[in-house]
Amino acid sequence: MAEYDSIIIGGGHNGLTCGAYLAKQGLRVLVLERREVAGGCCTTEAMPENPGFFVNRGGVDHQHMCSGPVPKELELEKHGLEYLWHEPLWFFPYDDGASWLVWRDVERTCEELAKFAPQEVENYRRWHEFWEHALHLLEAFDVGPPPTMADMLAVTETAEMQELYRALVTPPVVFIDRFFTDDRLKGAMAWWAVQTGTPPTRPGSTLAMGLQSGSHLSGGARPKGGSGALCRALASIIEGAGGTVALNSHVSKVHVANGRATGVTTQDGETFEAGKHVISAIDAKRLFLELMDESDVPSGLLQRVRQVSTTSASLFKVDLALSERPVFERYGGLPEQTLASPIIAPSLSYVMDGWIDIESGRPSREPGLWCACCTALDPSLAPEGKHTLWLSQFAPFHLGEGRSWDGIREETADRAIETFARYAPNVKSAVLGRLITSPLDWRRLTDNTNGCAWHVDMEMHQAWGFRPLPELSQYRTPIPNLYLTGSGSHPGGGITGLPGRNAALEILKDMGQGTPKKGLTGLVREWMGLYRSFRRFRKMTG
């Protein structure tokens, strides 16, 4: 029986981040990953039938990681991680021939906007000002254990917090109408709203619309060599400190003795003893309902965990190997249009119609697409002169009318390619091969419930001190030595590393190796440092 200080279940980027922080403090860490490659939804893999082509199976753009504390604190550049920054950030082509390049600089973005919607320029400046201040307020809560709603109200002026909460619980389509009149701009903003895997009519997903403004603040970057380079750097830290990242190691049971978590067993029957901690980087539902004996879980918690929501839409992806770079000829064919991430969301009605299909249990007949030609920025991902294209859309995990994903995956990929080709026609004849990842494939690859990249739904009722449940929101569980991290914990999904970082710092605090936990008084002092920003926010939204 092998013994480690800390055993981490799941080698996604948050599990690896947590392990890297612990390893740097001298703990012997074991990360157990069920797949043959670490990274979860943050991997770069070879296309099986197209030698020399490498694709990002999950996330591409890393602006939240780059703007956060993880790369600097872990000194990831010393472990081979190099970020390639790109301008512009986003490219929105529209059906009437207009298009919009979004740059990091807000004024340059407004100049682009003035070419086709001059009446919206001042509205966009107001929109960005709103989100700049709102994100400033909320990001302070991301780099540590989440506050409860009661705490947030207690340490701030009630009127300001009520105004912010009013915005966050307003349905996205209603919030958009407060700023814009042009249906093309409304479509772009609604596209950001649905990044929680929920329709733009549902209250509670408005916060996701701050993604574009957030990229103005952080810039846009991708790791050289693909997203998997981040996970390789994190694994390097763990292994360099004497730890292990074990692949093809699917945990089947968490052991509890004398009320404390003591180790795990894999599906192959190998048992590992944890001297100090077992840390789950998979979601709480799988941990408590599938890996643990019911008798080991405190009374009442199992029913609460069963109520955690995992019903949001999943993702359908197709990665293409191309003989040439996509060209948006109708829109001027500018190289910077593929250097950015193109977004196919040409109108609000287009986005809305796509979600009517999704909620009816079928793929969108006209899908909204997040796209990336990663080789435009990083030629190392394909043979010389060749390119890759990453197309991602939301889709239901559960299909209606008796259909299966294995039965419709090819036609759904065809539709995604046809949709993109309406804007960049040369792509259709340039396809050399493709790699499809349906929602069912995501489930098979990651074991995530319903193939959900966020582990559990990203909505207000499961945010901050509610994620995934109030009693599990501080990365600790009622079982001593058993901790949570991963996208199912605060602050949620996306490539940030923050759930892994925050959990590691709380674990180290419990060991007496970090700053003591702050009580409410300490939190008051910290949060009241935001007082000036709250005043500006109230004036702006009053």
Please state, in angstroms and rounded to a whole number, the distance separating the CA atoms of residues 452 and 16. Answer: 19
Q: How far is CA 378 from CA 92, 364, 390, in A?
A: 21, 31, 13
Radius of gyration of the chain (CA): 23
pLDDT by residue, tens only, the chain of 542 residues: 568 999 999 999 999 999 999 999 999 999 999 999 999 999 999 999 999 999 999 999 998 899 899 999 999 999 999 999 999 999 999 999 999 999 999 999 999 999 999 999 999 999 999 898 888 877 778 888 888 777 766 655 556 667 777 888 899 999 999 999 999 999 999 999 999 999 999 988 899 999 999 999 999 999 999 999 999 999 999 999 999 999 999 999 999 999 999 999 999 999 999 999 999 999 999 999 999 999 999 989 999 999 999 999 999 999 999 999 999 999 999 999 999 999 999 999 999 999 999 999 999 999 999 999 999 999 999 999 999 999 999 999 999 999 999 999 999 999 999 999 999 999 999 999 999 999 999 999 999 999 999 999 998 889 999 999 999 999 999 999 999 999 999 999 999 999 999 999 999 999 998 754 444 434 444 444 444 444 454 454 44
Q: How far is CA 153 from CA 122, 124, 458, in A?
A: 32, 29, 21
Using left for φ > 0, alpha for ψ between -120 and 50, and beta otherwise, residue 535 falls in alpha
Please state, in angstroms and rounded to a whole number, the distance separating the CA atoms of residues 394 and 192. Answer: 12
> Is residue 522 classed as helix, strand or coil in its secondary structure?
helix
Neighbours of 21 (CB within 10 A): 26
> Is residue 469 classed as helix, strand or coil in its secondary structure?
coil
61-83: burial string, b at 16+ Cβ within 10 Å, e else: bbbbbbbbebbeebebeebebeb
Q: What is the pLDDT of residues 438-484, one digit of tens each?
A: 999 999 999 999 999 999 999 888 999 999 999 999 999 999 999 99
CB-count exposure of residue 211 (10 Å: 0-12, 13-18, 19+): buried
Q: Are 59 and 317 in contact (CB under 8 A)?
A: no
Amino acid at 492: G
Domain 2-83+223-310+452-511 has CATH 3.90.1150.10: no
Residue boundaries of the structural domains of the chain: 2-83+223-310+452-511
Please state, in angstroms and rounded to a whole number, the distance separating the CA atoms of residues 390 and 369. Answer: 10
pTM (2 d.p.): 0.94
